[in-house]
Structure 1
Amino acid sequence: MSALTLLRGTADRIDARTPAHRDRAVDGLRALALLAVPTGHWLLGGFTLDADGGLHNASPLSAFGGLAPASWVLQMLGIFFLVGGYASALSYRRRAGSAGAWLRGRIVRLGRPVLGVTAVWAVAAPLLYAAGVPETTLRTGATLVVQPLWFVGVYVVVTALTPYCVRAAGRLGGWAALPLLVSVAVVDVLRYGPLAESVPSWLALLNVLPGWLFAYQLGVSWGEGRIGRRGGLLLLGGGTVLFAALLLVFGYPASMVGVPGAARTNSHPPSLLVLALAAAQSGAAVLLRDRLAKALARPALWAPVVVVNLCAMTILCWHQTAMLAAAVPGSFAGPVAGLTTAPDSLGWIVARLAWMPVFAALLVGIARYARRFEDPAPDGRKASALRRAVTGVLAAGFAVFALGLA
């Protein structure tokens, strides 16, 4: 039996086991947003090598501002929150128990993989140091590992607000997200406007919750059937116009991700530009839903979507580790093009593209073992109290270490 025949058979079996009510378009959008995370971090993140062989974070965006539009495509957290809100609205409506039990179940599914990756790194870091890995490299690695995990904390908070989002959608439909956009706009005016010098820096943190809740609320309204084609057109057109105005008229930074040395950033915390992009992406998702569902009716396209969704948290938690699995050994070999050389030349970009399949292969290898953190204990058994306590202590210790580097 050829490999192609085996793959086709597997795809057909996955397709046959998919419930008829499964929303393939939403799962496809989630998979797309998930894959954009490692792709963006691997393409727009790099390293420099110091005289002692230590790795430091760097970004090609510092040297190539023209790459900023790539971040418009790769920054798909708006889509992730959109489909998260959509799925949560449906799940909340269909829940069998209390709202509290529903929320606890979702938090456990999100938290287990996070505890897994941080606990593993808490053990691995001292072993790597003993093996000769420079402290600088370990600090850089710790920062990269926890970098994507902020998302989980924010996602837990917005998920906890699902009952209120459902009520808001019932009363206001898609317009329920408008006050969140206005809130972010007000904070942006204060921190970037004429009074910016007198505004405390912590004020920007007020954008964290409404900034990411915006797309989630749109998703809840979509899931409640309150956003249709007309709403999709309004979101796509309005978001695109606002995005262009913020860039061309109000001077917002073009990059959707942080650029080392830049005075302003759009993503931490989210600026109004992030919401404009999320609105445009959400409108496009609503409008393309039927076409995407039709395309994913084909088993060959649907099977990869299922695999990605089953490994969602594994991809999010471990993709930086996959890149480090190549970069740390590479640092002992000295400057390696696209891996440990400064991301400041076209040659680096070409070389980094060549490294992408290597990072992906390493992530697949890691996922074979790390995927267990997404699954409950076999046969429904709970982990022992000692195991949970040790894992928690290790994870907390590594988190404190990593966050202390920020």
Structure 2
Amino acid sequence: MTKRIDPTITRDVSAISSLDLSKRDLTIDLARVFSLLLVVVVHLLFVGVGRDADGGLVVSRPLEEQPWFAAATWAGQIMPLFFVVGGFASLIAWRGTVRRGGSAADYVKTRVLRLAQPTLPLFVFYVVVIGATTLLAFAPELVAQVVEGAGSPLWFIAAYCLCQALMPAMARLHERAPALTPAVLFGGVIVVDAARYSSGVTQVGYLNMVFVWLLVQQIGFWYADGWFARRTRWQLIVVAATCYAALVPLSTVGPYNTDMLVNLNPPTLPLVLLGLAQACLLCLFRPALAKVMSTRAARAIVFGVGTRLMTIYLWHLPVIIIIAGLGLLIPGADPEPASPAWWWSRIIVYLLVLGILFALSLGVGRWEKPRVLGPTPSVGVVALAAALTFVPTFLVIEYFLDLWLAVAGAASLWVAILVLRRWPRRAGSVG
């Protein structure tokens, strides 16, 4: 009897085989996947669901309650590295677009679609879930708390959309003024942080979504151009050690928090230092990581996860929360959060989460790869689509997710996708 082969696995293997690995830095792919899987671990340890003395549901954050948590975030705050490797990959992709005769609008159109398309199903999911619980009047305070946490990763879509929309301009600035550009961005980070902490107005700090993340993206540009590779091992160690050492006075005497997750939104100077240190460490470990990626097993895992990055990132928290809730219905499956049994059970739950996300990717994962149905529209339309992708995800940071924001976000993303994918063809255009 012939055994049937899963077509999804066949497609993944075919995709791996068709890649020109001779011109690809596989350690960047590994770093991206590692960063994402670590984010899932951290969020899994953040979610504790139990019952109080009266039998009511209580949502806690066991990881954050540990005395060593703040110190651990100096290593566990991995999002700067994600923007470093994103800057590396984006610069390579932009230069490829230019070589093929593409425009800035061509590049931004594709990148916005890759963010908007997989995010739309999540917003629709939240509309259904929040709408249903609202109609049923089911524990509104608990639902609000859960939805607030579940929607928190959407900040990344806003920040990355901003970086991708400005990518062509920042790449040109990098080519013309590779030293002056990060210097100006660094000055912007300092000015915004100074204004925020001196005024006490936290919202001022959101201006650093521009300066901090574009500066960390520039570090990725420098990595792509080989600046880090040209440094000696000891130079990289000194730079990384200096960055971490600088965090000590900044977070103890200075205004910044010792918890690097607190420094994330609004983004602050410590994230820039972490990004530079993490780029140095990535370069230091590059030979060892390259050996890992020389194996077929490692490449299969990395590319298997890599083709599902957005699905895993966007859906992992809803899946974690649903599993935690269902665990309450199964006798013995809901150990007390932060108890030894709870910590050990996270290993099994983590594997379960990844398995469910893989199954989920077979459906919603198709939204990760945009199928362009027409030519690139005008710069103004592409800019509008980028704004429609940025605004709802940014508003989640400031106002947290609720029913009306979920509805507005779904509508906004749908319009962004519609104008980019189904724009009427120009007269005489081909393909």
- Interval containing the TM-score (normalised by the shorter chain): 0.7 to 0.9
Match in the other structure for 2:378: none
> Post-superposition shift, 1:326?
0.8
Q: How many Å separate the matches in 2 of 1:62 and 1:77?
A: 18
Q: How many Å separate the matches in 2 of 1:402 and 1:41?
A: 25
> Post-superposition shift, 1:313?
0.5
Scaled by the length of structure 2, the TM-score of the pair is 0.74
Letter in structure 1 aligned against 2:367: F
Closer, same or farther in 2 for the Cα pair 1:11/1:307, shift >3 Å?
A: closer
Q: How many Å separate the matches in 2 of 1:225 and 1:168?
A: 17
Q: Decide whether the 8 Å contact of 1:337 with 1:351 is kept in 2.
A: no
> Post-superposition shift, 1:60?
2.2
Of 68, 91, 107, the residue aligned with 2:70 is 68
Letter in structure 1 aligned against 2:119: V
Q: How many Å separate the matches in 1 of 2:134 and 2:240?
A: 50
Of 269, 274, 278, the residue aligned with 2:271 is 274
Once the two structures are superposed, residues 171-217 of structure 1 have per-residue CA deviations (whole angstroms, 9 ceiling, x without a partner) of: 4436643433343234434444xxx3x44333222222212222111
Match in the other structure for 2:89: 87
Q: Does 1:169 align with 2:174?
A: yes
Unmatched segments (≥5 aa) in structure 1:
258-264, 383-391
Task: Using the TM superposition, name which of 204-213 and 239-248 deviates more.
Answer: 239-248
Q: How many Å separate the matches in 2 of 1:100 and 1:157?
A: 14
Once the two structures are superposed, residues 81-127 of structure 1 have per-residue CA deviations (whole angstroms, 9 ceiling, x without a partner) of: 11111111111111132111210111001110100111123224444
Q: Does 1:305 align with 2:305?
A: no
Closer, same or farther in 2 for the Cα pair 1:202/1:125, shift >3 Å?
A: closer
Once the two structures are superposed, residues 248-291 of structure 1 have per-residue CA deviations (whole angstroms, 9 ceiling, x without a partner) of: 5437433222xxxxxxx311112222222111101112333343
Of 352, 369, 372, the residue aligned with 2:366 is 372
> Post-superposition shift, 1:75?
1.8
What RMSD in Å do the two structures reach over aligned CA positions?
Answer: 3.7
Match in the other structure for 1:180: 185
Closer, same or farther in 2 for the Cα pair 1:201/1:240, shift >3 Å?
A: closer
Letter in structure 1 aligned against 2:209: V
Count of residue pairs brought into register by the alignment: 373
> Post-superposition shift, 1:148?
0.7
Match in the other structure for 2:250: 246
SS in structure 1 at match of 2:258? coil
Q: Does 1:104 align with 2:106?
A: no
Letter in structure 1 aligned against 2:215: F
SS in structure 2 at match of 1:89? helix
Match in the other structure for 1:386: none
Q: How many Å separate the matches in 1 of 2:190 and 2:331?
A: 47
> Post-superposition shift, 1:354?
4.4
Q: How many Å separate the matches in 2 of 1:171 and 1:376?
A: 32
Q: How many Å separate the matches in 1 of 2:212 and 2:47?
A: 24
Q: How many Å separate the matches in 2 of 1:402 and 1:76?
A: 31
Scaled by the length of structure 1, the TM-score of the pair is 0.78
Q: How many Å separate the matches in 2 of 1:170 and 1:288?
A: 27
Q: Does 1:359 align with 2:353?
A: yes
Of 282, 287, 297, the residue aligned with 1:285 is 282
Aligned runs of 1:202-213 on 2, under 5 Å? 202-213=203-214
Task: Using the TM superposition, name which of 94-103 and 37-46 deviates more.
Answer: 37-46
Q: How many Å separate the matches in 1 of 2:332 and 2:254?
A: 41
Q: Decide whether the 8 Å contact of 2:12 with 2:304 is kept in 1.
A: no
Match in the other structure for 1:30: 32
> Post-superposition shift, 1:335?
9.3
Closer, same or farther in 2 for the Cα pair 1:168/1:228, shift >3 Å?
A: farther
Unmatched segments (≥5 aa) in structure 2:
376-388, 407-431
